[in-house]
Chains A and B, each alone.
Chain A
Amino acid sequence: DGGITQSPKYLFRKEGQNVTLSCEQNLNHDAMYWYRQDPGQGLRLIYYSQIVNDFQKGDIAEGYSVSREKKESFPLTVTSAQKNPTAFYLCASSGGISGGSSYNEQFFGPGTRLTVL
């Protein structure tokens, strides 16, 4: 079954610690995205990557970092510099630059709820 997996579902960390959220897809999509969802604010783009070894900042990249060493994987690190890291984090992918029917639609993973204590 093709899809996007995010792990873990729930994550707790102490303030001041870096934490890395996993995102893996087997849809053969070129593009991958990270969003955070806060109550009443919809989905805000953190980082995105159109192709391996390349990524761009989204609207709220401060305090976050990413890597894209493999097409299937796009991990997000929430650093201690992120002032309000407690949120629901969503990873998505789309056909990206290869085009095709999945170019316009983004497919989402189940999300990770991060709570910083």
Chain B
Amino acid sequence: QKEVEQNSGPLSVPEGAIASLNCTYSDRGSQSFFWYRQYSGKSPELIMFIYSNGDKEDGRFTAQLNKASQYVSLLIRDSQPSDSATYLCAVNDSSASKIIFGSGTRLSIRP
């Protein structure tokens, strides 16, 4: 059973600080990695994707990938209350045409 593991949280971070979200995955063949944000009662939206080892920055968001350690992370700089949501890590299933979602980390930014 291929798995994507995330700490469920809640992760509480003060406004303006850096929020760090982590994810590990079991499928060594996975090549594509994604972060989705889901507000309560809404559907997920894609915020970042990363395919190569290292860092990828997009505005206040940085995705980090280490395939050797099977580890993906998302950093959110200058956290805002509007960043409070559940963040879902997802990776492609190397043997099937689908992606596998983690259970999500609930992030709370306190003013």
Whether both chains belong to one complex is answered with no
B residues with CB within 8 A of A: none
A residues with CB within 8 A of B: none
